[in-house]
Amino acid sequence: MRQQLNKAKRWVMKIGTSTLTTSGGHFAHENLEKIVSQVVFLVQHGVQVVVVSSGAIALGMDTLKRTRRPTTLPELQACAAIGQGKLMKAYESAFSRAGYHAAQILLTQDGLQDRKRYVNAKNTIEALLKMGAIPVVNENDTVATEEIKFGDNDVLAAQVANLVEASLLVFLSDIDGFYLRDKTLIHQIQSPAELKEYASHIHPKQSEKTVGGMKTKLEAAQTAMRSGIPIVLANGQDTHIAERILKGEEVGSLFHPATQKSSARQKWLAHSASSKGTITVDPGARRALTADKRSLLASGVLRCSGNFKLGDVVDVTDEAGGVFARGLVNYSREEVLKIQGQKASAIASILGYKRSDELVHRNNLVVLE
Ligand code: GLU
């Protein structure tokens, strides 16, 4: 498994507050620069990287010359609001020195549960990666407080890994990996069941500036494992950590995926997700989807029904009404009614905008036969 990590072409790299602060608790710009150098190394080696970074509260506290983490949520949110701009400024100047653009993405966990927002966030991040920019994600602390309260972005990072269909999720923290109470470092966790067994023997570690401990990391790891994404938990103070992970070295703790990423998604699409409508296609489009493994384009659509919206699951049927595929649709019913039968190149002039060429992208489609 370790050796296969050099084939992981899309990483979500979660940078914890502890990685960005000194032992005295102050924000350490030099640590951020080292992280950025590693991200640049990865990008130059053909890896797309989405950074999920904490540190806004720590930077806000530093700015206000506070040494103790505030105890009320509004004060924490205020610190984050002061620190977030500075955090992005630090990322932007470090990345731009290496010739890259950093892009701020503020997300909330409940926002990602909304299909429309999920698809919007996904499309934006895909577009940024295509442009060669580096998305830097944090929780939108003004409107959401889940991570401030519990997680230091651990759960958010797992959700982002799911969102962008990452091939690897890396948690960088100030510890070498997953330790048991007796200080044994666990190098490999093979399954969610094994993880559950270990969970009651975690080595506790508390820090003044963050709340996310090993518990939330393990919860997040479980989510990622179940989505088919491997996770490496490693020490962000090691200035070559990303390079070492990429080379397949035995660093940190590796959590094996419980299933294949594509099969987890395909299973969900085929069995769990409920369909909000139907798109009927001509024989050419049916062949393109089934035999040629292509995406669904508007040109092959004959009609549609149901009140589906952007990001909903739709059934795809042939003229006889047989459902042969399901997928996440990029356009609402109202939009499909206007563009059905039309070429992708005509979408922008008909709607006044074009979200994507595909009605349903191949990656979001499962053929049922
Ligand atoms: N969004 C928070 C930050 O950037 C998460 C970390 C925390 O809760 O300390 O600081």
- C-alpha closest to that of 18 among 188, 200, 168, 233: 233
Residue 139 alpha carbon, nearest atom of ligand 1: 1
- Residues 214 and 128 occupy one common structural domain: yes
298-325 pLDDT tens trace: 999 999 999 999 989 999 999 999 999 9
Question: What confidence tens digit (pLDDT) does each residue in 228-248 have?
Answer: 899 999 999 999 999 999 999
* 8 A C-beta contact, residue 104 and residue 139: no
Same domain flag for 251 and 359:
no
Could you please report the per-residue DSSP string of 200-220? TTBPP---SS----HHHHHHH
pLDDT of 262: 67
Are 54 and 162 part of one and the same domain?
A: yes
Distance, in Å, from the CA atom of 96 to the CA atom of 77, rounded to the nearest integer, reads 28
Confidence of residue 205 (pLDDT cuts 50, 70, 90): low
Considering the domain architecture, whether residues 227 and 171 belong to the same structural domain is answered as yes
pLDDT of 211 strictly over 70: no
pLDDT in tens, 255-306: 999 877 667 677 777 777 789 999 999 999 999 999 999 999 999 999 999 9
| Contact between residue 362 and residue 293 where contact means Cβ atoms under 8 Å apart | yes
Go through the chain and tell me how many residues it has.
369
Q: How many domains does the chain have?
A: 2
Q: How far is the CA of 139 from the centre of ligand 1 (A)?
A: 7
Which residues form ligand 1's pocket by a CB distance below 6 Å? 17, 54-57, 80, 138-139, 141, 147-148, 152-153, 210-211
**H or E stretch at 346:** none
* 256 in the same domain as 110: yes
Question: Do 11 and 114 lie in a common domain?
Answer: yes
Task: List the one residue out of 107, 112, 108, 113 whose CA is nearest residue 136.
Answer: 107
Distance 227 CA to ligand 1 centre (A): 25
- The Cα 49–Cα 357 span in angstroms is 24
Mean pLDDT value across residues 206-227: 72
Summarize the confidence of residues 51-73 as an average pLDDT: 94
Please tell me whether residues 198 and 281 are part of one structural domain: no
> pTM value?
0.83
Together in a domain, 209 and 313: no
| Mean pLDDT of the region 204-210 | 48
- Kindly report, residue by residue over 193-202, the tens digit of the pLDDT: 888 888 777 7
- Round the average pLDDT of the chain to a whole number and report it: 90
**Alpha carbons within 13 A on the beta-carbon side of 362:** 9
Residue 58's domain spans which residues? 2-266
Residue from 18, 19, 54 whose mutation best tests the ligand 1 pocket (most atoms within 8 A of CB): 54
Alpha-helical segments (H) within the chain: 29-44, 56-63, 73-97, 109-113, 115-131, 146, 154-163, 192-199, 214-226, 241-246, 261-267, 283-290, 333-339, 347-351
Are 36 and 151 within one domain? yes
